[in-house]
Amino acid sequence: MTSVPPWVWLVTLLAFAAIVTLDLVVIGRRQRAVTSADATRWVLFYIGLAAVFAGLLYAFRSTTSGNEFVAGYVMEYSLSVDNLFVFLIIIARFAVPQLAQDKVLYIGIVLSMAMRTVFIVAGAAAVNAASWVFYVFGVFLVYSAVRLALEGENDADDFQEGAALRALRRMLPLTRDYHGNALVLRVEGRRMLTPLVVVVAAIAIANVVFALDSIPAIFGLTTDAYIVFTANAFALMGLRQLYFLIGSLLDRVVFLNIGLSAILGFIGIKLVLEALHGSGVDHVGHLHVPLIGISASLEFIVAVLALTAVASLVKVRRAVPVEVESEDERQSQ
């Protein structure tokens, strides 16, 4: 793992803080719902920032660091897309006003970014302390991959409000109804919180829960905590705009779960192989234990995502005529 000077960490954190502040200013001034054009511009902006950052890594660190970031960013962004299904369910379940959706997603994602940092620090410390942690991460990712694959195509299971959210409802002084996009207001001289606070908590908790899979997965690509943090941060910063851009199209990516399970399973196997080498096991019987490089990992991730998108598109297009035909038959009867 390549060490990063403290000043580089400081500059990076300040840069992220400036971007988050800029985003907050834009949200505060916007007096209308987010349009597809708005979302497209911001998605391209954040992808462009990630590309510039990758270029800086290639130029001032190494090709390996650049490849690790690109692979980690692509994987984290693709795994984060699965979060959008949960966001859609949360927004619909709590009937969040359209004008307030951007704000609650923004705050929820920023909070989850801060909480994910704890996972990253803990994961980096565990990896540095003992190589056997790779066995744990690897087996967990393979298990997650199997579980995700068994779910089959994406479905919109009802969002389950956990104990933490129910506790918030009991503990906090909440108003009965929403008041625009306000989180706090005064009612008869008493400071009250609107239900948007519960929605923010739901989004933040859901995003952290998804990190239980994605954080171990990215450590399968790199043990550099700086790369892990920046790849996560860039992926999460562009997630909110992606929600408004493709939220209505997510149901067409019918094989997303299967594609993500293939990626998780691949990274899990890669971790186990690296753990074997770390334990001094280069051969199992007559079989040589291979090491999977970062370039091969990046190629696999991109190929799986492309295949997932194409297969989903083909299935959706083939399903449309069948649905139309069956509807016509029912009308004729």
Question: Which residue intervals of 132-177 are DSSP H helices?
Answer: 133-150, 163-171
Q: Are 34 and 183 in contact (CB under 8 A)?
A: no
pLDDT at 248 over 80: no
Residues 151-206 have pLDDT tens digits of 655 544 445 555 666 676 677 777 777 887 788 888 777 888 888 888 888 888 87
Weakest-pLDDT range from 225-229, 284-288, 300-304, 325-329: 325-329
What residues have CB less than 8 Å from 257, skipping those under 6 apart? 82, 148, 149, 151, 152, 153, 154
Mean pLDDT of the chain: 79
The predicted pLDDT at position 135 comes to 80
**Which one is predicted more confidently, 100 or 33?**
100
pLDDT at 323 over 50: no
Confidence of residue 28 (pLDDT cuts 50, 70, 90): low
* Percent of the chain whose pLDDT exceeds 70: 83
Confidence of residue 11 (pLDDT cuts 50, 70, 90): very high
Q: Tell me the one-letter amino acid at 176.
A: R
CA distance linking residue 33 with residue 102, whole number of Å:
8
Residues 260-273 have pLDDT tens digits of 788 888 888 887 88
CA distance linking residue 55 with residue 214, whole number of Å:
24
pLDDT at 213 over 80: no
Which DSSP letter does residue 250 get? G
Residues 170-184 have pLDDT tens digits of 777 777 778 877 888
CA distance linking residue 124 with residue 103, whole number of Å:
32
CA-based nearest residue to 277, from 132, 110, 174, 170 = 132
